[in-house]
Amino acid sequence: MAPANSTGSAHSIRPVAVDDVDTWHLEADVVVAGYGIAGVSAAIEAARVGADVLVLERTSGWGGAAALAGGFIYLGGGTPLQKALGFEDTPENMKTFMMAALGPGADEEKITDYCNGSVEHYNWLVDNGVPFKESFYGQPGWETPFDDGLMYSGGENAAPFNAIAAQAPRGHVPQMSDKRTGEKGGGFMLMKPLVETAEKLGVRAEHDMRVQRLVVDGDRVVGIIAKRYGKEVAVRARTGVVLAMGSFAYNESMVESYAPRLIGRPGAAIEEHDGTAIRMAQALGADLAHMDASEVAFFGDPQLMVRGILVNGRGQRYVNEDTYPGRIGQETLLRNNNEAYLIIDEAAYDEGAGADSSTPFFRFRPKWVAETAAELESEMGLPEGTLQSTVEVYNRHAERGEDPVFGKKPEWVKPIGSPIAALDLRGFTAGFTLGGLRTSIQSEVLHVSGEPIPGLFAAGRCTAGVCAGGYASGTSLGDGSFYGRRAGISAAKG
Ligand SMILES: Cc1cc2nc3c(=O)[nH]c(=O)nc-3n(C[C@H](O)[C@H](O)[C@H](O)COP(=O)(O)OP(=O)(O)OC[C@H]3O[C@@H](n4cnc5c(N)ncnc54)[C@H](O)[C@@H]3O)c2cc1C
């Protein structure tokens, strides 16, 4: 095997000219690379418009990161589930939130399109067998610990966004009991019915196929070269190729070049997310977007965080603790040097530790405990006066149930008493990359000139989707399935 090159791959990603292909081993109208959420959505829609579809998957089964995922799908604008549970939302309201929370740099055309199509997309998922239970989970949390269908998943109900757009929960979760996120989460109940639908529509799948290069006829993509058990397999695509192979979170060299804050801390991704799709298309002149953007998970239990205050390495607060925990993750890793301490008193700790949680494994014990903020500050080694003044300012306003500094909601604002403790949450983050191929709203891969690359389509985390600077849980399965569908339809048209 050749050594890894500067792309981080151990094989060539250069395109192959069609004249150099002696034999096509496999053939279909639409060839989809990757059988995760974007791939299955593309396969279904391509088959529905009459295309013969072949999916090439590197592992020996379908699912990808999607099947391990918690299963949030970011949908809104007045979905039947939102309405049934009494929440009002419109596409315009959803767009206002997404433009504010997912930027800077969010793609307005994509977000507008996504919001306008969101109710139809919900109905499409339901029609294809994805179950959603009519129940809302309103507690702070990464996910619902139960099988509820709807939850806030992006900080819609917290400052500053609750003053920018009317709050509405948009984290739609497929119903599943005994979930184990990271093994078989709500995402499994998204993937399973979709794969069954694809199979019923006659979609074929070939496994253990590692897609490596594109085949071109002039500037048109007409096939794929994959490797299976050490042998090259040439696959002809009569109308189009869809790339749906996931992010570059596990490509160390790309992470180093584009999203260095994530070095050594890939999370909520799988090792197969090695950036190959991005590199293969780049070799044809594809444009990229938001390569520095990242989702960041924070290993803190929201039921504890919301009842305390988070401070950075200077003993200062930096975020409202009742917001989406992924926003806390971004603030911690990207803007506070990955340093966080949770300051909480004993009564609040006990109350939080007794509440429902989907992440009890994030309920760490305090590292330092003291009678006063001054003693705690000294034991933690923080500069004198820093933590004391933070606690003093917080408590002064908390006496009136207010947080004018960060706008935490009154229901969570209480003065911090004694004994007072600190949980050491430094370095407790991981994440995945959000940047990738620049695509049109028809999921065409765009050349650096702005023109589509003929025959090449893409969706999912190998593309730049609806997120840029910010993130909301559900946007990856959301834009992956939404633009996966578009990719399938476009690829079938050719
Ligand atoms: C524990 C966990 C929790 C998560 N929770 C959520 C959530 O609640 N909501 C949300 O929106 N997102 C969530 N995510 C993220 C989300 O699952 C992914 O971002 C999403 O699945 C990306 O979709 P995709 O189609 O691009 O990639 P995937 O779903 O990973 O599919 C890509 C497929 O391509 C295959 N592949 C890769 N390289 C090749 C190759 N060379 N040849 C052939 N096949 C290849 C992979 O094996 C994989 O099957 C979570 C992820 C994890 C792991």
Q: If you measure from the C-alpha of residue 377 to the centroid of ligand 1, how many angstroms do you get, rounded to a whole number?
A: 42
Mean pLDDT (whole number) for 171-191: 87
Q: Which of 177-186, 354-363, 417-426 has the lowest mean pLDDT?
A: 177-186
Mean pLDDT (whole number) for 163-182: 91
Whether the pLDDT of residue 4 is over 50: the answer is no
Q: If you measure from the C-alpha of residue 253 to the centroid of ligand 1, how many angstroms do you get, rounded to a whole number?
A: 20
Q: How many H-runs (helices) and E-runs (strands) does the chain carry?
A: 15, 21
Residue closest to 18 by CA, chosen among 175, 177, 149, 213 = 213
Banded pLDDT at 177 (limits 50, 70, 90):
confident
Q: If you measure from the C-alpha of residue 476 to the centroid of ligand 1, how many angstroms do you get, rounded to a whole number?
A: 8
Mean pLDDT (whole number) for 241-260: 98
Mean pLDDT (whole number) for 34-58: 98
Q: Could you give phi then psi for residue 225, rounded to 5 degrees?
A: -110, 125
Residues of each domain in the chain carrying CATH 3.50.50.60: 1-299+431-494
Mean pLDDT (whole number) for 181-195: 89
Share of the chain above pLDDT 90, in %: 96
For residue 2, give the DSSP letter: P
Nearest CA to ligand 1 atom 49: 64
For residue 14, give the DSSP letter: -
Share of the chain above pLDDT 70, in %: 98
Looking at the CA of residue 462, tell me the nearest atom of ligand 1: 26
Banded pLDDT at 6 (limits 50, 70, 90):
very low
Residues of each domain in the chain carrying CATH 3.90.700.10: 300-427
**Domain 1-299+431-494 - what CATH class?**
alpha beta
Pocket of ligand 1 (CB under 6 A): 33-39, 56-59, 64-66, 68-72, 181-182, 187, 209-211, 244-246, 268-270, 272, 276, 460-462, 473-478, 480
Banded pLDDT at 3 (limits 50, 70, 90):
very low
Question: What pLDDT was estimated at residue 144?
Answer: 93
Mean pLDDT (whole number) for 301-319: 98
Question: What pLDDT was estimated at residue 22?
Answer: 97
Whether the pLDDT of residue 179 is over 90: the answer is no
Sign of CA dihedral 125, 45, 21, 19: negative
Looking at the CA of residue 34, tell me the nearest atom of ligand 1: 34
Whether the pLDDT of residue 1 is over 80: the answer is no
Q: If you measure from the C-alpha of residue 74 to the centroid of ligand 1, how many angstroms do you get, rounded to a whole number?
A: 15
What is 319-362 written as a DSSP string?
Answer: S-TTS-HHHHHHHHHHHSTT--EEEEEHHHHHHHHTS--S-GGG
pLDDT tens readout for residues 439-490: 999 999 999 999 999 999 999 999 999 999 999 999 999 999 999 999 999 9
Q: Mean of the per-residue pLDDT values for the chain?
A: 96
Mean pLDDT (whole number) for 73-78: 98
Question: What pLDDT was estimated at residue 9?
Answer: 60
Output the pTM of the full model: 0.97
Token pair 């917001």 in the structure block, residue: 323
Q: Which of 155-164, 178-187, 237-246, 406-415 has the lowest mean pLDDT?
A: 178-187
Q: Are the beta carbons of 255 and 231 closer than 8 angstroms?
A: no
CATH assignment of 300-427, among 3.90.700.10, 1.20.1370.20, 1.25.40.420, 3.40.50.720:
3.90.700.10
Question: What pLDDT was estimated at residue 176?
Answer: 87
Question: What pLDDT was estimated at residue 8?
Answer: 58
Question: What pLDDT was estimated at residue 181?
Answer: 72
Mean pLDDT (whole number) for 87-108: 98
Q: If you measure from the C-alpha of residue 428 to the centroid of ligand 1, how many angstroms do you get, rounded to a whole number?
A: 22
Token pair 């191929």 in the structure block, residue: 437
Looking at the CA of residue 62, tell me the nearest atom of ligand 1: 49
